[in-house]
Amino acid sequence: MAAAPFWFALLLVVLSGCAQTGSSMLHPWGMVAAAQRDWLVIAVALMMIVVLPVFVMVPLFAWRYRRRGGRGVYRPNWTYARVLEYPIWGVPVLIVAALAVMVATRETDLDPYRPLPGAGAPLEIDVVALDWKFLFIYPKEHVASVGLLAIPRGRPVSFHLTSDATMQSFFIPALGSQIYAMAGMETQLHLRADRDGVLDGENTQYNGADFQNEHVRVEVVPDASFARFLAECRVAGRVLDPSSYRMLAVRDTLVKAKAAFGLPPDGRLLFGDVQPGLFASIIAKYHPGDRTMRMAGQAE
């Protein structure tokens, strides 16, 4: 029992050993997930100060003071000792204080809204959560993809998210935090991938029949390959305008959406041109009375 930190460390090793590459925080692919894993280990270690004595004392007391054959003295009226009150209240207070300081100082570091350092200016990506697929718009590059996210290695990514359907939670475990996407609202998320590879992205908020299939293929690639991805989008030749967007937004599976665009289930649904202001207009349509929102949608 006393070896719990050891077992915990071992568990993490075993877990990360059997984790598929690029699937979770135990194999961090980016600085955020790595920081989260480290924080988890520290928090567990700190709490062991309170938890371990419990694991030692419960069996010990139960055995020593057992009715039959126990060797402890019996003091039925011993119910209070001031000297014990200090550690009983003090130790948990100190540990929570330590954790609170950690939260207060490090929380801002892990804030999903905080831009990350990295190579080059952040890559902006607008995410639209649809039932049951994610649409990714690269506003500066004027391309878009569905169920597929390509990001350059080492460059921070700044996501702006909204939903045009149910509330969803966009999550790439190996990279870091998740954040909700809600209709008529915009949330933000900053991530950075530090190694090349293919990761799994997912929606973690149940939203109906095809929830389990709402996954995203996340491709972390070097700069040159990212340029090739942009070219691939443009070669695909599709335009994301209100009419093609309506086809996408139909409440159906990603596979059906691909079929609607004449693609096989494993095809890559890419758009080489995106109508400016589409993302803002998706948000603005939930605020028909709000002129400033509408203007912002038109201005973009």
Partner 1 sequence: MTLNDWLFGRLTVQAALPFYSAIATAAASIVVVGALAVVVLLTKFRLWRPLWSEWLTSLDHKRIGIMYVVLALVMLSRAVVEAVMMRAQQAVSYDSPGYLPADHFAQLFTTHGTIMIFFMAMPFLTGIINYAMPLQIGARDVSFPLLNSVSLGLTAAGAALMMISLCIGRFSTGGWSGYPPFTELAFSPDVGPDYWIWAVTLSSIGSTLTGINFAVTIYKERAPGMHLFRMPLFCWTALCTSILMIFAMPPLTVATALLALDRYAGAHFFTNGGGGDVMNYINLFWLFGHPEVYILILPAFGVYSEVFSTFSAKALYGYRSLVYATMAIAVLSFTVWLHHFFTMGQGANVNAVFGIATMLIGIPTGVKIYDWLLTMFRGRIRFAVPLLFALGFILMFAIGGMTGIILANPGIDYQVHNTVFLVAHFHNVLIPGLLFGMLAAVQYWFPKAFGFRLNEKWGRTVFVLWTAGFLFAFMPLYALGLLGLPRRTVEYFQGAYRPWTLIAAFGALLLLLGLFAVGAWLFVSVRQRDDNRVPAGDPWNGRTLEWSMSAPPPEYNFAVRPRVTGRDQFMRDKLGGMAYLRPDEYEDIEIPLGSAVGPLLGIAGILCGFGLTWHIWWMAAGGLLLSIGTVIARSFVRETTRIVPAGEVRLQHEAWLGRLAMERPASRDQEIAPSNRGLALADGS
Looking at residues 219 to 248 of the shown chain, list those that interact with partner 1 (rule: CB under 8 A).
none
Closest CA to 200 of 177, 180, 179, 219: 219
35 vs 230, beta carbon nearer partner 1: 35
What tokens does 239 get?
């335009």
- 111 lines the binding site for partner 1 (CB under 8 A): yes
> What is the spatial distance between Cα 174 and Cα 49, in angstroms, rounded to a whole number?
29
Q: Does an H or E element contain 135, and which? A: strand 133-138
CB of 114 to partner 1, least distance (A): 7
> What is the spatial distance between Cα 212 and Cα 210, in angstroms, rounded to a whole number?
6
3-state secondary structure of 277: coil
Q: Which of 9, 34, 167, 263 contacts partner 1 by CB under 8 A?
A: 167
CB of 143 to partner 1, least distance (A): 26
Give, in order, the Cα–Cα distances in Å from 297 to each of 52, 159, 162, 283, 287. Answer: 57, 18, 14, 8, 11
- 76 lines the binding site for partner 1 (CB under 8 A): yes
Q: Does an H or E element contain 149, and which? A: strand 148-152
- 131 lines the binding site for partner 1 (CB under 8 A): yes
Q: How many residues bind partner 1 (CB under 8 A)?
A: 101
Altogether, the residues listed in the chain come to a count of 300
- 169 lines the binding site for partner 1 (CB under 8 A): yes
- 145 lines the binding site for partner 1 (CB under 8 A): no
Say how many C-beta atoms besides its own lie within 10 A of residue 121's C-beta. Answer: 11
- 250 lines the binding site for partner 1 (CB under 8 A): no
- 127 lines the binding site for partner 1 (CB under 8 A): no
> What is the spatial distance between Cα 279 and Cα 188, in angstroms, rounded to a whole number?
13
**Judged by CB under 8 A, which stretch of 138-146, 230-238, 258-266, 281-289 contacts partner 1?**
281-289
- 9 lines the binding site for partner 1 (CB under 8 A): no
- 65 lines the binding site for partner 1 (CB under 8 A): yes
CB of 16 to partner 1, least distance (A): 9
What would the x/- binding string for partner 1 be over residues 12 to 51, using CB under 8 A? ---x--xxx--xxxx------x-xx--xx--xx--x--xx
**Judged by CB under 8 A, which stretch of 146-154, 168-176, 239-247, 265-273 contacts partner 1?**
168-176
Q: Which of 5, 92, 222, 265 contacts partner 1 by CB under 8 A?
A: 92
> What is the spatial distance between Cα 127 and Cα 149, in angstroms, rounded to a whole number?
10
CA angle (281 as vertex; 257, 238 as ends), nearest 5: 40
